[in-house]
Amino acid sequence: MHVLVTGAAGMIGRKLAERLGRDGALGDAAITTLTLTDIVEPPVPAGFAGAVRRVTADLADPGVAESLVSARPEVVFHIAGVVSADAELNLKKGYRANLDGTRALLDAIRRVADGWCPKVVFTSSCAVFGAPFPDVIGDDFHLTPLTSYGTQKAMCELLLADHSRRGFLDGVALRLPAVCVRPGPPNKAASGFFSAIIREPLAGRETLLPVAETVLHTHASPRATVGFLIHAAGLSRDVLGPRIAVTMPGVCCTVGEQIEALRRVAGDAAVARIKRAPDPLVERIVAGWPHRFDAARARALGFVAETTFDEIVRIHIEDDLDGRIPD
């Protein structure tokens, strides 16, 4: 099996490639080739016995997508894109990375037109939903995003669904909650503080909290997110049905409840490193996001996430801090 991963140098892309390399298979099919692409060179997953092709390129550039699909990968994980606040602050950049790159990829697949029909797993976002919200958001809630990022993701969902309906590909879009705790340096995601208020204190560093502790959101760990992607690749079209966008499960909690989970795992000293610093832009963006989801359909399809935020904190320690909190 040949697997293509776009956005393979990003956090989720790297962790997915590491998992694919470690497993060496998707379901019952051995992976013989991994094609990893991003605008910077992706790392090679350790221990993978098959061939690895790394492509450093912008998916929206002419000819890049055609080159990537020329070897007809059976599975495409499309993760490439820019994050929420970056897409909101730089409209041109957001549409190029999130919409133009996706359309280039789907067009390249469509143009092959020789019966090849790859599985395409797309990372969408719960930002596709827009206010006013009911207490709990279901999969069939209307798409009226209140950010450019959410708009771009919603447009890509529609393109993916249309290409899937026409038989050019077999698509599934995963509406991800906030992925938390993200390792590494902070990114430009408006949701980045959800991770920073856990990651930075655990590393002995102070961090800023730009919103009130009453802010409510749904979270899943990077480990669970990679699990979502791999599980989605194994879903048949018959099982998924015509509604190919699915809202993923997660842990719904307030920022204050996140902080208390950190306190239970790492103590008062870690919590003391969180400093309040309201940011009107982040507050406005986050206020336009839904908070709690009915992920019954996803669970019925076999998707699994954590059940407590304490689990999410401990997973970050296990996966990214070598199993221990630094002194």
Question: Catalytic residue positions?
Answer: 149
* CA pair distance 225, 219, nearest whole angstrom: 10
DSSP 8-state assignment for residue 126: G
Q: Strand pairing partners for 122?
A: 78, 173
Instruction: Name the 3-class secondary structure at 144.
Output: coil
Q: Give the residue from 71, 94, 72, 74 showing the smallest Cα distance to 84.
A: 94
Q: What angle do CA 171, 172, 175 make, to 5 degrees?
A: 145
CA distance 313 to 217: 15
| Residue 32 neighbours by CB distance under 10 Å | 13
Secondary structure class of 237 (helix, strand, coil): helix
The amino acid present at 229, given as its one-letter code, is L
Question: Cα(176)–Cα(249) distance, rounded to whole angstroms?
Answer: 8
**How far, in Å, CA of 54 to CA of 1, rounded?**
17
Phi, psi torsion values for 167, nearest 5 degrees: 85, 10
From the list 85, 58, 77, the residue with the least C-alpha distance to 118 is 77
**Residues facing 53 on adjacent strands:** 35
Q: Distance between CA 309 and CA 300 in Å, rounded?
A: 22
